[in-house]
Amino acid sequence: FDRMKPVIVVHGGAGRIFKEREEGSRTGVVRAALRGYGMLKQGGSALDAVEEAVRSMEDDPHFNAGCGSVLNEKGEVEMDAIIMDGKNLDSGAVSAVKCIANPIKLARLVMEKTKHMLLTDSGAHLFAQAMGIPEIPGEKLITERSRERWKNNLEPDSNPQEFQKDLGTVGAVAIDSEGNVACATSTGGLSNKLTGRVGDTACIGSGGYADNHSGATSTTGHGESIMKVVLARLILYHMEQGMSPGMAADTALDYMKTRVGGLGGVIVVNNSGEWAARFSTKQMSWATVKDDQLHYGIYAGERHTKSVGEALASESEGF
């Protein structure tokens, strides 16, 4: 049996990344990719690697997931997350969850400890308690920036749509040495969204999809548009028709733009370890590690490359 070379790809959200946040976004996706890759190198599963990478970004206030999530109309954090195993198409998701640090952990438990795929709101909360997940005060997840933005969006002349361009869903896809693929996606959703709004992230086939027969993908961007075209599954469909990951991603993003006017970004890995990071927005922070080489970028056409050794050394010094 020919062992696969493991690959991980992560994204920190598509949209507009403001200048003062670029460095933090780059550092955050690089750290997440290195952490996930570290697990894969030690023989860890794709599932463990994507969960770890996403957890790392949930804990990073630069991203709209976990700590740093945007606020809904009432000024609260409500988060969505999904994880999927390409081996048997098992998936777990949570939506509209509050007061927990890592929704992706809870999604993994939904997949492994229940017969269900999606738990929401108070039901997800009860399940988290049953699983012994510590509850944290909602304020702990709220950054100064999220509160500022929420306030600004409440102004009568504000246009929350204008700010939605800085979306920051986080996600990861991976293939491990056994050839199994997995995906994970987590988000705080849209700023000033209606209470109870659930976007694409928690929806299988939209926010993510993983199938060993073709590959895995995680999406980011305008949730309602992504749901309309079932973006993640659409990309895998194109790969099943013989397209490369990059071609499949571009084709699906292009369709979403022309058909429903939606912009977004995707990361993809196919079952032979080829990867892609593509977006129709201005920017998307992304990073990938394959063959001990780290690649990362934010702008279209931007791609930095470092060896993993070099990256880990500068990681420990701080960028």
- DSSP H or E stretch at residue 159: none
Contact 9, 288 (CB under 8 A): yes
- DSSP H or E stretch at residue 195: none
Listed as own residue / partner, the contacts of 43-47 with beta carbons closer than 8 Å and 24 or more positions apart are 43/176, 43/177, 44/176, 45/176, 45/178, 45/180, 45/182, 46/6, 46/86, 46/174, 46/175, 46/176, 46/180, 46/181, 46/182, 46/216, 47/83, 47/85, 47/108, 47/180, 47/182
Beta bridge partners of 215: 211, 270
The residue type found at 136 is: I
Please provide the DSSP assignment of 229-285 as one string: HTHHHHHHHHHHTT--HHHHHHHHHHHHHHHH---EEEEEEETTS-EEEEESSSEEE
**Catalytic residue check, 251:** no
Task: Show binding-site residues for substrate.
Answer: 197-200, 220-223
Task: Show binding-site residues.
Answer: 197-200, 220-223
Catalytic residue selected from 27, 120, 143, 169:
169
Which residues are known to be catalytic? 169
